[in-house]
Structure 1
């Protein structure tokens, strides 16, 4: 017997992973109006899943109450509204969180995972409580986090584990003795703000590389140079003797072309090539 669920969020792949799983069926999608995107709309039209747009917590509570009796529980991923106790008293909600809980809690967990220089990343499914990413952990999986993977590849590879999380959720629901994992109220990381997305000529190379990796699907990082913010979207380590230094200007360890920074010298052999 399939579990009928409402999906809360804006990620189309997660929605379809749930809907196509042999043990689950998505009866409706609830998404914030400002987070609606073409991929999610396309998924809902292909699968003929009703999509409900909301603006706030009151809208969410109202829509869940209206749908009562048509779904068994809610599965959430990439949903920006905090769930309050009044909803949890009436509805069971499970959250898919892109980290190996209880590590890296918070909205921007993949950012902190990349910045931490981790060799692997995790994704977890837990029961929602009023605490941020707290609640009983039902399943968690890991994937390799290779140096060449930016935020886009990280998300894609993590989402491929969603069917495995769902299989574990189904086992949990059918087995009263299913072993779960203890969560806690620690390891929370605050949301990323713009001040954290600046690089400098004296930052460690790994921090610059990881910062750029973390922002590949956003608007890049910033390099404040010559009183101007320059957008940096790609960076790699290159041999200094391959750089056309005669056509560039070197100011301390920053290589520039006109007023635009194009590199940061690391030592007498290598430099960070910026673009």
Structure 2
């Protein structure tokens, strides 16, 4: 068995790694504020060595602890900090990325998929070789993106692919599978406010839907009404249509109508 440590805050990944027959999960590194009670319960019940950090600078403080565990490699999934170079040079790192390495690199791949209104995406497993979300691709678990998928629902779909990708990893480690080197894929910067501001004059209903769904788990998309910045997490549709695009604002509600129908934004 290969001795590994997990960097990330996914309780599902902890569960799958514990069930994996060719891996010996000995520890985990989590991020403060991201962890669920189930995560803590799994770590405690399985007697895993556990370290929790709240900022990137704290990673260097656990380097010696990781070295003492005598691991074979590191598994990463949903970990928001870059591994220190000293650790990256010493250990092979296998990362699970919630997007396609060819055209969706970056920290917020799942959110970007929803914003871009992509109809399909994948969970990618690759061995790090240097650049951000670049490396030796070992496998992809493809999923369809529904029109109403938000971040939790899309994450749930992608997470189901972990067991399949772990089997691909086993084949790779046993020399029965060759990886594909993926370099210079499309990199997207972190999501900023400008990405989630709804343009009431020019955004299509589907673009507006994407901005709201991408932020529903967080604070909501941004809608500006009469100089006020409001948040939007909810919307609804009606069949009323108009040959010309119209907009009505009523307190914290925006009603948009065009030839396809009526979209109502419920602002907060």
Aligned to 1:197: 196
Aligned to 2:263: 272
Larger mean Cα displacement after TM superposition, 30-39 or 201-210 = 30-39
> How do 1:127-138 residues align onto structure 2 when only pairs under 5 Å count?
127-138=127-138
TM-score normalised to structure 1 length: 0.87
Aligned to 1:253: 246
- Count of aligned positions: 261
Q: Secondary structure of the residue that 1:186 maps to in structure 2?
A: coil
Q: Provide structure 1 residue ranges, at least 5 long, that are not aligned to the other structure.
A: 242-251
Superposition deviation, residue 102 in structure 1: 2.2
Q: 1:8 to 1:199 in 2, by over 3 A?
A: same
Aligned to 1:151: 151
Offset from partner CA, 1:103-135 (integer Å, 9 cap, x none): 200001112212222221101111123310011
What CA distance in whole angstroms lies between the structure 1 residues aligned with 2:60 and 2:184? 25
Aligned to 1:225: 225
What CA distance in whole angstroms lies between the structure 2 residues aligned with 1:186 and 1:124? 13
Q: Secondary structure of the residue that 1:67 maps to in structure 2?
A: helix
Superposition deviation, residue 8 in structure 1: 0.3
Aligned to 1:18: 17
Superposition deviation, residue 187 in structure 1: 0.5
TM-score normalised to structure 2 length: 0.89
Q: 1:139 to 1:167 in 2, by over 3 A?
A: same
Q: 1:236 to 1:22 in 2, by over 3 A?
A: farther
> How do 1:65-214 residues align onto structure 2 when only pairs under 5 Å count?
65-68=64-67, 69-175=69-175, 178-202=177-201, 203-214=203-214
Tell whether the 8 Å contact from 1:76 to 1:94 is kept in structure 2 after alignment.
yes
Q: Provide structure 2 residue ranges, at least 5 long, that are not aligned to the other structure.
A: none
